[in-house]
Structure 1
C-alpha cells in the first residue's frame, strides 16, 4: 500500500488507498472514546465512535471494537471479510499474554489504582488483541503515542526529522519516541510511557496507574477536574478558558501544570537529544496558542547546548492525529 495518498491539512485531511487495494480497518482506542473507520479508494468512510467500554468482563473492550468494526463496514458498504488488515492505535501501557496485547491502561482498568480512582471495574488488564484475532488474521496493535509519531513523521510536523517525539496531552499523557530514525518500542511496546515519570513531590494527584504525583496524575485532562473541581474548575476546558480570560487563580494553576509538563518534555529532550517535539491531543490542541509558549518557557535556557536546538511545535495533523495514527499502522 505504498501508493496511498494523504492531502495536506489545508485540503481537509482526506485519505485514499490506491485502486485495487483491499480496504483496511482503522481503530483508535482512547481512555474516553473508541473511533473506528474504514480506509479504501474513496478515503476514510464509515466512521463510528463510542465511549470506551469500562464495564462488564475484561474482554468488553475487545468485543466493543469487534462490534464497531462490523458497524463501520456496514456504513461504508464494505464486506468485513474483505478487510486486509486491522490497525489499532491504543492507549496503554500494554502487557503481553501469550504474545497478545492486553491493556493495563490507567483510564480503563479500575483494578490498578483501586476504588479511589472511580472506575466501574476491577480489571488489571483489558483484553484487546486476542478477541480481534478470533476474527481477523492480520492485526497490528501499537501504543497510540507510537502511532501518532508515525503519522506525524509521515504526513505531519515531524517529516524529515530523525530524532523527535510526538506527545499527546489529552485524557491521559502519551508519547512516541524516535532516535536516529528508529522508532523506540521496548520489550512490550511501551516505550514512550513517560507520562508516568515523576516531576514533582505532589502527594494528592492519584493517577489511574496507582502512582501519586506522576505527570499524568498531575496534568492529564481527567486529572484537572479531580484536582481543581473544588476550586470551581470541574474539567480541563473550564480551567483553561478561565486562564485565557485572565483569571489570576486559573492562570496560576495552569502555569503550574505547564511547569510539570514542561519538565517532562525537558527530560525527553536531554535524555534522547531530540530535534523536535510535536504536541497534540484534545487538551493541548484547543488551547495551543496559550499553552505552547508556556511549555517552551520551561525548556528555553536550561542546558542550552541540548535544548536550544530542539523546537516544540503544534501537531501538523492538527486534531486528527488519532485518526491518522491508526491509518499509519496499516497504510
Structure 2
C-alpha cells in the first residue's frame, strides 16, 4: 500500500506501534543515516520499507575523516544488503549529533561525545579532534545530500509521523548518550546561524564544579544527566552504567533513587526553561536513557512543570516519542521524503 499522493505510506501494527513507513510505488530508494555519540545506523528505504539496516559503534579513532569514511562504507554495505545499487539512490539524509561548524562551506561535527580535543584528555575520548569531517566526503559521493542536527530531524519526523502531529509550538528532546533538542515555534523549525538551534543540553541549570562535559563546559545539563555522564559522576555507587542505576532506582535502592530524583530535577528544569522561553504546547521525548525507563522518568519530569507559572505551563504535555525507539531512523528519512 502507498499513500497515493507521493508521500510515504504509513502502517501501524497495533494501536501503540510506531508507524512502518514505506516509499510509494515507483519512488527511487533513499538512504538514511543516524549519527550519534555511541552508534551510527544506516539503512535504505524503498517501497518495502526500511531495508539493509546496519548499526556500528561511532568511529572515534584515526584521522578526523574517520567518521565520514565509516558512513560511506556503511551506506555501501546497506545498499548491498538491500539489493539496491548506489546509482539508483535518489538522495541521502543524515541526522547527526552536533554542534556543527562550517569549514570551507561544509559541515563538520564539533560533537562533545565524538571529538576528544574539545575537553581534553580528562574526558577520555581516544582522539584529539576538535571537529570531525563529515559533509565534504559524503557530498563528493552523493550530490543530493541533506545533513541536519539529529534533534531537528527527529522533530520533523515526530511532527510528520509521531507524537507532535498537528502542533505548531513544540519540541523534541532526546535523552541518550547526550542531550539533543529540536525546536518548532509558529510552525517553523528553528535552525540558527549554523544549524545549531536547540543545543539546550549545554545550558546551565544548577551549580556544579566537577561534572565535565565533552564540550569543555563544567556543570551543564549534558554533563549532569546524559547517559554517559551518570556512571562518571556516580562511579563510587558501583553502578556500571545509566541503565543499571535506573534499574536500581526503580527497585527502590535508596542511593540510586536519590540520584535519579536529582537528575530528574535538573532535566525537568531544562524542559521547563524550554516551555516558558518558547511558549510550547508539547514536548516529545525519546533516546535510550528515557525510552527504556519512561514509565519511571516521565512523571518525575512532569512534576518539574506542573504548578509552576500556570499561565505558561498549564496544559503543556511531556509525552514519549510517538516513533518510539525508531526515532533516529525516521529522523533521517524525514530529511529526504
- Shorter-chain TM range is over 0.9
Spell out, residue by residue over 1:156-176, the C-alpha distance to the aligned partner (whole angstroms, 9 max, x if none).
Answer: 000001100000000000000
Deviation at 1:267, TM superposition (A): 0.4
Partner of 1:215: 221
What does 1:3-82 correspond to in 2, within 5 Å? 3-8=7-12, 10=14, 13-82=19-88
Deviation at 1:100, TM superposition (A): 1.1
1:318 corresponds, among 318, 324, 331, to: 324
Structure-2-length-normalised TM-score: 0.97
Write the distance in 1 (CA, Å) between the matches of 2:270 and 2:32.
Answer: 30
Write the distance in 1 (CA, Å) between the matches of 2:11 and 2:312.
Answer: 34
What does 1:128-277 correspond to in 2, within 5 Å? 128-277=134-283
Alignment partner of 1:94 is 2:100:
yes
Gaps of 5+ in 2: none
Question: Per the alignment, in what secondary structure is the counterpart of residue 299 of structure 1?
Answer: coil
Deviation at 1:309, TM superposition (A): 2.7
Q: Is the 8 A contact 2:18 2:326 kept in 1?
A: no
Deviation at 1:278, TM superposition (A): 0.4
Write the distance in 2 (CA, Å) between the matches of 1:96 and 1:108.
Answer: 17
2:300 corresponds, among 294, 297, 308, to: 294
Write the distance in 2 (CA, Å) between the matches of 1:43 and 1:322.
Answer: 15
Deviation at 1:2, TM superposition (A): 3.6
Write the distance in 2 (CA, Å) between the matches of 1:128 and 1:8.
Answer: 34
Gaps of 5+ in 1: none
Deviation at 1:3, TM superposition (A): 2.1
Q: How many residues align?
A: 331
Alignment partner of 1:303 is 2:309:
yes
Q: Cα RMSD between the aligned structures?
A: 1.0
Write the distance in 2 (CA, Å) between the matches of 1:38 and 1:71.
Answer: 10
Deviation at 1:12, TM superposition (A): 5.9
Structure-1-length-normalised TM-score: 0.98
